[in-house]
Each structure stands twice: as C-alpha cells, then as structure tokens.
Amino acid sequence: MVKPLILFLSFLLSAFLCSCQQPLQKTSTCDCSNSRVRDSLVEKYLDNLVERVSYNTPNWQTVCDSVIAICPNVAAAYQLKAIPFIKYGDFAKAFPLEDKAVELDPNQFTSYRGFLKCIFTKDYEGAIIDFQNAEKLVPNGYEMDHTFFFYEGLCNLELTHYADAEKNFKKDIYIQTGGDTTKTIHYNSLFYLGVLYYEMKNYSLAKEYLLKCLAIYEQHPDANYYLAMVYKKMKDFNLEKKYLAVSKKAFEDKYDLVEDNIVYANYPHQVTLYEVEQAMKEPK
C-alpha cells in the first residue's frame, strides 16, 4: 500500500536532517547549496531507485517529490521524476522537468535531454543543439552507450543533411577507436553509416559498412534489410532475396537493434517485419 506523501516526507526529512553535518538551529534546514548535502540525498534516496521502486507506482513520484521538497536544486530528482512521463509519452509533463534538470546540472543532463529529443520526440534540430552544447561541456562524451556525435549523426541523417551526418558518424567512430583500426566499433555506428551511404546512393560504401556491421552482429535485422535493399539497387536479386530472408528470420527470432528504450520508441530508419515481408512480395 502506498504511503501518504505527507507521512513519507516527514520521515524522509527528519531522517535526512539528522544526518546533516551542521548544527541544527531552531528552524533547522539542510544547506542545499552544499554539493555534499545534495550528493548525500542522491546517494541515499535516488541511486538505484529503479531497483527499489517501480516507476509505474505512485511511490516513484513520492520519493522524487520528497527529495525536491528537501532540496529543490537536486537535478537528478527532476530527471527521475520525468521518467514515467517519458515512458507513457506524456512529453508535455516530462520536458519541463528535464529542462529543470539541465538548468541545475547541464554537464550531466544536457546530453540526456538531447537523447530524448532525438529518439522520443524526433525534435532533431533541438537535439542537435543539445548535443553540440553537451560536447562543449563534456568533450567526446557518451550518452546511452553512444558518443554525442552518433546522435547528432542520426539527427542529420533524418534531416537529410547528409554531409554533416557523414562527418558526425566518422567522428563517432574516431572517438571509439582513437584511430586504431583494430578496435571494435559499435555495430550500430556501422549500421547507420551504411544507411547514410544508402540514402546518398553510394551503394558500394553502403554495402561495405553494412557488411562490417553484420560481421559483428550477424542477426541484425535492420542491417540485413538495408543490405538487401543495396543489392536490389545493384540488381543482384539473388542476394537481395537472401538478405531479406535473413532479416525476416531475425525478426521472427526476436532480434532487434539492441538499443536502450527501443520498446518505447522507434529509432531512426528502423524497419519492421511487415516492411521486410512486403519487400519479399515485390516482383523482381
């Protein structure tokens, strides 16, 4: 049973006040300007919150609201409070919270907001601005296992700014490898570079990068589909048929892009089993 907010807040506040490392005055409050105080709140109540409380229950909001009531400048509380709204697609409620998190801690949350704009709301122009700002704050940084340049590349790909997307994806790969060609590159970096060249009608390079992707992750359903489309453009219909069949089997076996939040939002240029099956029906 969910505890009433007032009782939970009273308990949380009193417990935290007892741990503050400063003398309590008659009307004692914690010094929220002290980063150690804020970090202590995050450590005690927000770290690993997802392992302790389901975001589908009111308890999630109760914890976040209680932390905000104690110290309204804890950025992570706003970011976590927004998560259920993001999952449910209520972006009108989510983004004011995300904006507050960025205002309070731009180094940590600017790139996360850019990720949400890129993947969830398809605000590609806004996402590019966020990732460019994030790059200034945290050079060569990562968000959700990818460099900032990877997401900027996705945005430019969707905006058909192909030259910019190519620069972004090449920079993404360079950050991953440091120029060492023996290092493994994330398969979706290779996949999207292949898709980009496909859209640019450079089918030779599209094939090269899609095959590199499949050398790492051979069941990648989307890469197999786009490779089939490349062979279709090259009029190699036997290989088109082969890779469409591999893509269909991968979808049926529940393989996918293997990206965070893919159950909540479609990634750019992501395909479906229906599209594969329709392509298989087209006369050659």
pLDDT tens digits along 209-229? 999 999 999 999 999 999 999
pLDDT at 28: 43
Tell me the whole-structure pTM to 2 decimals. Answer: 0.88
Give me the CATH topology for the region 106-183.
1.25.40
Residue 10's beta-bridge partner residues? none
What is the number of other CB atoms lying within 10 angstroms of the CB of residue 90? 12
Task: Return mean pLDDT, the chain.
Answer: 90
Give the angle 246-249-253 at the CA atoms, nearest 5°: 135
What is the distance between the alpha carbons of residues 165 and 159, in angstroms, rounded to a whole number? 9
User: What is the DSSP secondary structure assignment for residue 262, as one 8-state letter?
Assistant: T
pLDDT at 11: 52
Which residues of the chain are under the pLDDT cut of 50?
Answer: 1-3, 5-7, 9-10, 13-14, 16-28
pLDDT in tens, 33-86: 888 988 889 999 898 888 888 888 889 999 999 999 999 999 999 999 999 999
What is the distance between the alpha carbons of residues 171 and 154, in angstroms, rounded to a whole number? 13
Domain range summary for the chain, segments of one domain joined by +: 1-21+29-104, 106-183, 203-284
> DSSP alpha helices (H): ranges in 42-90?
49-52, 58-70, 75-88
What is the distance between the alpha carbons of residues 185 and 190, in angstroms, rounded to a whole number? 7
What is the distance between the alpha carbons of residues 162 and 229, in angstroms, rounded to a whole number? 19
